[in-house]
Amino acid sequence: MCQTHLSTLKEIRFHGTKSFPCAIYQTRPLRKGTLIKHHWHKEVEILYFFGGDFRLEINMEQFFVHSEALYFINPGELHSIFTENEVSSGEDAIVFSLGILNFDSYDAVQTQLIQPIQNGTLLFPRRLLPSHEEFVPVRDAFLETVRSFNHPLNEDMPLQYGAVTDDLTNQLFIKSSLLRILAILSGSQLFTPIGKNQDKRVEEIKTVLTYIKENYKDKIYIQDLAKQVNMNSQYFCRFFKKSIGRSPMEYVNDYRLKQSLRLLKETDLSITEVCMECGYNNLGNFLRSFKRYTDTTPLKYRKQMQKENEKVNIS
């Protein structure tokens, strides 16, 4: 049961192309709240924040980002990004499979660096700040990787826009830039070796979040969530809030509201149908929760999204 749950929390999006699994993303926040929901993937992710006011969560550890910084997400790590305030700046990300850097010769780079990262026995450093001497060369290599896609990223692009490339020359430059990042980190001994045992708490949180994702349309009780990780309800509530920063039911409610935003934007379902589809059995409760969450009504939100779509289509 646990493995099935975890597979659905895994990000479905394919990063890059089948022949070159590497992509760059630009995310620009619009309002305070969840920017990237909790998820995990088998690829490595490097995040570059160039300003703003963000809260990054990685394996239940919180990092507050207020200025330029680089963060590294290891394969399989649960992570999410929240905007603490309405800001115009954002972050860029490179998501890539370590397989694009493999060596057929099975040399020391392959056996002592790439393979251990893939196996989870060697971890990237969590972050680099401008005060670290490695920050500037790694940042420059990051930006060079982005430029190698030959696709300009700018503030006018939509949220979570992804760029890929099948061009041979671009791919060579991308590989060389990523290898340079590995070389800088390795040369400064910033990779951390660990044992093969995964943090049990992280796996438990993955299980609970995936259960919510699979069952948010139905009634969910605290005891249902606690049962997924064999805890009593009181201990589970403390465990969840310490891990995620919100109570279990606050998280469930937020997740349902995010799904309602998606349905209002992408479907023609009536407001009542959206309410029921997102696990609300009472329209009044849904409308009040929606108003608190967005400062508007579902109908006004749908009309606003329709106007924005019309502008995009015209341009």
| 62 and 164 both lie in a single domain | yes
User: Which of 193, 217, 244 is the C-terminal boundary of a domain?
Assistant: 193
Tokens representing residue 15 in the block: 């990063």
pLDDT above 70 covers a percentage of the chain that reads 86
For the packed helices 248-266 and 298-314, what is the interaxial angle rounded to 10 degrees? 50
| 155 and 189 both lie in a single domain | yes
Q: Which of the pair, 151 or 293, is modelled with greater confidence?
A: 293
| 270 and 301 both lie in a single domain | yes
* pLDDT tens digits along 209-263: 999 999 999 999 999 999 999 999 999 999 898 888 789 999 999 999 999 999 9
User: Which of 193, 212, 239 is the C-terminal boundary of a domain?
Assistant: 193
Question: Which residue range(s) make up the domain with 89?
Answer: 2-193
Asked whether the beta carbons of 44 and 75 are under 8 A apart, the reply is yes
| Per-residue model confidence (pLDDT) at position 4 | 38
- Residue 34 confidence class, pLDDT cut points 50, 70, 90: confident
| 163 and 244 both lie in a single domain | no
Report the run of H or E that residue 6 belongs to, with start and end.
helix 2-9
| Per-residue model confidence (pLDDT) at position 244 | 82
| 238 and 118 both lie in a single domain | no
Query: Residue 130, Cβ neighbours under 10 Å: how many?
Result: 12
* pLDDT tens digits along 87-113: 667 789 999 999 999 877 678 888 889
For the packed helices 283-294 and 298-314, what is the interaxial angle rounded to 10 degrees? 50
How many domains does one find in the chain?
A: 2
Sign of CA dihedral 112, 113, 114, 118: positive
DSSP one-letter code for 40: B
Q: Which residues of 244-276 are buried (b: 16+ CB within 10 A; e: fewer)?
A: beeebeebbbbbbbbbbbebbeeeebebeebbb
Flag whether pLDDT at 265 surpasses 80: yes
| Per-residue model confidence (pLDDT) at position 156 | 47
Q: How far apart are CA 86 and CA 30, in angstroms?
A: 6
Asked whether the beta carbons of 130 and 50 are under 8 A apart, the reply is no
Task: Tell me what the pLDDT averaged over the chain comes to.
Answer: 85
| 158 and 271 both lie in a single domain | no
**Which whole number is the average pLDDT over 172-198?**
88
* pLDDT tens digits along 129-176: 999 999 999 999 999 999 998 755 444 443 344 677 888 999 999 999
Q: How far apart are CA 274 and CA 290, in angstroms?
A: 11
| 54 and 116 both lie in a single domain | yes
**Which whole number is the average pLDDT over 174-181?**
96
Q: What is the CATH number of the domain that holds 161?
A: 2.60.120.10
Query: Residue 205, Cβ neighbours under 10 Å: how many?
Result: 21
User: Which of 124, 158, 193 is the C-terminal boundary of a domain?
Assistant: 193
Asked whether the beta carbons of 114 and 70 are under 8 A apart, the reply is no
| 114 and 132 both lie in a single domain | yes
- Residue 26 confidence class, pLDDT cut points 50, 70, 90: confident
| 86 and 186 both lie in a single domain | yes
Q: What is the CATH number of the domain that holds 226?
A: 1.10.10.60
| 101 and 27 both lie in a single domain | yes
Strand, coil or helix: what is 176? Answer: helix
